[in-house]
Structure 1
């Protein structure tokens, strides 16, 4: 007998033997009964569980985490009553402390620039204080000043919180003290008041 037919015959014999074993196993408990119909095949094998209300609870937070019951959403299907929304009234803002007065820069660099000078008679002119050095002082100039002492100013210096205006030869024409954004003082020769503002 050819080898392929031999192997085919062996497979058929094996299949027939397995089929007989299976039919004996199935027939054992069912012996003497009619074959089950299609409805019997749909019936559950395990007994039905009694039905009742289903409850659920949120899982506990992982170790190291804290959670309050309000952190979790309600379980699905739970009867949750929603409280009517009430308007939230924000508390009055904390009163803000008043800001301190602005800090006015002081020192030599804070007075550099052009000033409007006004003497005791009410006459005014321009005085420019430069940052360019002039020997051991700084350059200054005056324009349109009716006061002849003030009109001769060519240099200035800042010492001990005061501005000194100098004429040629080193004569002090005026001394002014910084007060806020202005310079207030007096002319040296006459003692008349002098104010300079930006």
Structure 2
């Protein structure tokens, strides 16, 4: 096998391409140019613009504002302080004095005009239109029969079976004070 030598046409093409690389149009800015070439005609000529001293002044206030430059507020990096609202503390309420039906529910010590005592219990359990009541160890026969009670117009009514009113009492002095209905003798109930 014989080796073929490059043909003349191939050698000319290689030489032309190498010559094109050496053309002044491909020279970078670091290489000097012999004169203005076709590229120089395309580049616009830029001349230096003379500059003066640079000064700094605050801007004028916007239309309608009258702030002078010395009155312009300076922004601070710290947030404004938080102001706590005053806390309303109501005055101490006076002690609640229980009154009404619920204030008389419970056990009582009854004392009649003779000084005799017994236990009377006023329940919150309903008994028809009234509430249940009971008396224990009462020497007074009218008081011993108490089976119901009610609270009307600020008064406590003690009832016997059949609806007869045994006594009427009013709240006062931490207890109930009144009288037995039949005899009119005084009656008091205390806790």
What's the offset of the Cα at 1:101? 6.9
2:174 is aligned to: 181
2:138 is aligned to: 145
1:40 is aligned to: none
> Over residues 52-73 of structure 1, what are the superposed CA-to-partner deviations in whole Å (9 max), with x where a residue is unaligned?
xxxxxxxxxx98xxxxxxxxxx
More helix by share: 1
Distance 1:101 1:150 in 2: 36
Is residue 104–residue 180 contact of structure 1 (8 Å, CA) maintained in 2?
Answer: no
Distance 1:157 1:185 in 2: 14
**SS of corresponding position for 1:109:** helix
Is residue 176–residue 183 contact of structure 1 (8 Å, CA) maintained in 2?
Answer: yes
> Over residues 135-157 of structure 1, what are the superposed CA-to-partner deviations in whole Å (9 max), with x where a residue is unaligned?
00000000010000000000000
* Pairing 1:126–2:119 present: yes
Distance 1:122 1:133 in 2: 31
What is the TM-score when the length of structure 2 is the normalising length?
A: 0.51
What's the offset of the Cα at 1:104? 1.5
Alignment RMSD (CA, Å): 3.7
Unaligned runs of 5+ in 1: 1-61, 64-98
What's the offset of the Cα at 1:108? 0.5
* Pairing 1:194–2:175 present: no
**SS of corresponding position for 2:98:** coil
Distance 1:100 1:196, change over 3 A: farther
**SS of corresponding position for 2:120:** strand
Unaligned runs of 5+ in 2: 1-74, 77-91
Larger gyration radius, structure 1 or structure 2 = 2
1:10 is aligned to: none
Aligned residues: 128
